[in-house]
């Protein structure tokens, strides 16, 4: 594979401006993430600690191998959504426990007693999907008051999938380990009930479908927490608990021990020797502009994330607005598709063929998405942009190798679909903080509707109110711009997290390693390609 020769000049004025703007965006992301670590706030965190309990991230940290990693996923779930604490009341991600990559979760007991809200539920379901798709054993720390009853209508029906998913993973021999570290009621009680292994912490875990007040109201029976659902009772009488831990540290020790005797084996390929890129990842901050309308060469990004900055480019002289080729990331083979402009028919054809080739050799695909959409206009419609664009979308839809997406800039229109957006089932999808996503840019969308309104008024013979149309156009543009930025997208779980561009290579390496827990298989079968 040839080494990519970078043309970046770090003294260039544009590079310096990009670096400063991206650094500001990265700091904004870090500040938002710091807020999620505050849990329910100082008062509730203090109360939690005074009860002798560990915080969720402390539990996870103690569970992990000393030299392992933890890739937190969707840390800003619920960001900017009224009534939702940042993070959605749950911490989750991929980490290494006893040498095994696991999907680790911990409910945030300092936020409404760990009660599940609507966005926490959506996040939990996505985490479960990641565990299933990548064949990752699950370790969960549970301390949950069940559903947030004030919003039960948004939780109850879809919430049942949580328990279905646990049992389906069990059927697929993907075990779930549940450590009950506090009171877990109603839906919170079913989490250990459905898990393969259950650890309960003595004098701390309380698991019941209904607490003493509800039992008294429903049946007249008078009982207490410990007798009704304490860890000792469940370990010695009901059998819901498999292990009785002396304290939380002992519970964590037991969880690590369980993982160690799973006899876990990866089914995917082993990585080859790792070679670092020739160029500094810090330079990624100066390559992409904070303004997604300003183009950049994706080869400069590829040069800083692939092993040895080596890249075997495919059809370089054809379909120039889509760069395709093969490389290694942390020793894992990948096929890369990266945009630098709109997709023309040639670009779409090239992309579809490249996806087929990678499936033929069972090579995972990485999409570096910076796309303003497919080309439009009479010439291009006559040239078959719809059928050729559909061909690439067909290839993405039916691809069976693991797919990973990094949104490095714009994600507009059907380009989002062709470049493996959320609805096309990537194993993991992350965004850079400059990312913007919508049907089209705010200015363009507002302009289109302005034209439509003017034409409608003309057809009806109605005089145009320029002031009213101008205000409507400006309001719509502002709304679309607000609803298409990276923070809005990640708050609504359109991705698995906003990342620092400098961490792109390592995050892809973790993602590829996690995906290799399941056998990597491609396909040679496709839907109908219109010719």
Residues 249-269: tens digit of each pLDDT? 999 999 999 999 999 999 999
- Inform me whether the pLDDT recorded for 427 exceeds 90: yes
- Inform me whether the pLDDT recorded for 446 exceeds 70: no
Consecutive H or E run containing 206 = strand 206-208
The architecture in CATH of the region 38-260 reads: Alpha-Beta Complex (3.90)
What does the pLDDT average to over 67-81? 93
Q: What secondary structure does DSSP assign to 466-521, as a single string?
A: HHHHHHHHHHHHHHHHHTTBHHHHHHTTSSS-B--GGGHHHHHHHHHHHHTTS---
What does the pLDDT average to over 15-33? 95
Which range is least confidently modeled, 152-166, 254-268, 272-286, 412-426? Answer: 152-166
What does the pLDDT average to over 493-515? 98
- pLDDT: which is higher, 488 or 160: 488
In 3-state terms, what secondary structure has residue 218? helix
Domain boundaries, the chain: 38-260, 281-438+485-515, 442-483
| Token pair recorded at residue 229 | 């659902």
d(CA 363, CA 373): 26
- Inform me whether the pLDDT recorded for 149 exceeds 60: no
Instruction: Tell me what pLDDT residue 382 has.
Output: 78
DSSP 8-state code for residue 53: P
What does the pLDDT average to over 354-375? 94
Break the chain down into helix, strand, coil percent, rounded to 5.
45, 20, 35
From the candidate CATH numbers 3.40.50.2000, 3.20.20.70, 1.10.150.120, 3.90.226.10, the one assigned to the domain spanning 281-438+485-515: 3.90.226.10
- Inform me whether the pLDDT recorded for 327 exceeds 70: yes
Please state, in angstroms and as integers, the Cα–Cα distance from residue 468 to each residue in 445, 448, 455, 479, following that order.
17, 16, 15, 17
Sheet containing strand 243-245, strands side by side: 70-72, 90-97, 100-107, 138-142, 176-180, 197-201, 243-245
What is the phi/psi pair of residue 315, to 5°? 50, 55
d(CA 161, CA 323): 39
Predicted confidence (pLDDT) per residue in 170-221, tens digit? 999 999 999 999 888 777 788 898 999 999 999 999 998 877 877 788 888 8
Q: Is the pTM of this model over 0.85?
A: yes
In 3-state terms, what secondary structure has residue 333? strand
d(CA 232, CA 466): 74
Could you tell me where the DSSP H helices lie in 37-117?
42-50, 56-63
Predicted confidence (pLDDT) per residue in 210-246, tens digit? 778 777 888 888 888 888 889 999 999 999 999 999 9
Q: What secondary structure does DSSP assign to 104-161, as a single string?
A: EEEE-TTTGGG-B-HHHHHHHHHHHHHHHHHT--EEEEE----B-GGGGGGTHHHHHH
Same fold, 38-260 and 281-438+485-515: yes
């Amino acid at each position: 594979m040839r080494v990519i020769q970078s043309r970046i000049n770090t003294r260039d004025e544009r590079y310096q401006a990009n670096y400063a703007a991206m650094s500001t965006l990265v700091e904004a992301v870090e500040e938002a993430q710091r807020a999620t670590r505050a849990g329910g706030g100082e008062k509730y965190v203090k109360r939690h600690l005074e009860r002798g309990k560990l915080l969720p991230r402390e539990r996870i940290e103690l569970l992990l191998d000393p030299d392992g990693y933890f890739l937190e996923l969707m840390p800003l779930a619920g960001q900017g959504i009224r009534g939702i604490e940042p993070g959605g009341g749950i911490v989750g991600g991929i980490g290494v426990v006893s040498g095994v990559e696991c999907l680790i979760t911990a409910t945030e007991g300092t936020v409404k007693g760990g009660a599940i809200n609507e966005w926490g539920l959506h996040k939990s379901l996505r985490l479960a999907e990641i565990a299933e798709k990548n064949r990752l054993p699950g370790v969960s720390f549970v301390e949950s008051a069940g559903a947030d009853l004030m919003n039960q209508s948004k939780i109850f029906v879809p919430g049942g999938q949580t328990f279905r998913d646990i049992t389906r993973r069990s059927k697929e021999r993907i075990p779930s380990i549940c450590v009950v570290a506090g009171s877990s009621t109603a839906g919170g009680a079913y989490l250990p009930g459905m898990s393969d292994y259950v650890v309960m912490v003595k004098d701390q875990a309380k698991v019941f479908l209904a607490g003493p007040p509800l039992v008294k109201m429903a049946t007249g029976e008078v009982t207490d927490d410990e007798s009704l659902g304490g860890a000792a009772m469940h370990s010695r009488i009901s059998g819901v608990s498999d292990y009785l831990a002396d304290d939380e540290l002992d519970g964590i020790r037991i969880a690590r021990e369980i993982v160690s005797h799973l006899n876990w084996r990866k089914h995917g390929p082993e990585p080859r020797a790792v070679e670092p890129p020739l160029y500094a990842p810090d330079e990624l901050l100066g390559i992409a502009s904070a303004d997604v309308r300003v183009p950049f060469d994706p080869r400069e990004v590829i040069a800083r994330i692939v092993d040895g900055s080596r890249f075997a480019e495919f059809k370089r002289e054809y379909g120039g607005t889509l760069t395709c080729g093969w490389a290694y990331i942390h020793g894992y083979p990948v096929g890369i598709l990266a945009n630098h402009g709109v997709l023309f028919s040639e670009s779409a054809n090239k992309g579809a063929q490249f996806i087929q080739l990678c499936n033929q050799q069972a090579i995972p695909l990485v999409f570096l998405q910076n796309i303003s959409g497919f080309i439009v206009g009479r010439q291009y419609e006559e040239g078959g942009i719809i059928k050729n664009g559909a061909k690439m979308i067909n290839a993405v839809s039916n691809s069976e190798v693991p797919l990973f997406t990094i949104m490095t800039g714009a994600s507009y229109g059907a380009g989002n679909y062709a470049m493996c957006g959320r609805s096309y089932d990537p194993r993991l999808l992350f965004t850079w903080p400059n990312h913007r996503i919508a049907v089209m840019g705010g200015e363009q969308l507002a302009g289109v509707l302005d034209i439509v309104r003017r034409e409608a008024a003309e057809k009806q013979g109605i005089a145009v109110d320029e002031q009213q149309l101008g205000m409507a156009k400006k309001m719509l543009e502002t709304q679309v711009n607000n609803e298409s930025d990276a923070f809005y997208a990640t708050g609504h779980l359109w991705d698995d997290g906003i990342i620092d561009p400098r961490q792109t290579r390592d995050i892809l390496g973790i993602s590829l390693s996690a995906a290799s827990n399941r056998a990597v298989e491609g396909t040679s079968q496709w839907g109908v390609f219109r010719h």
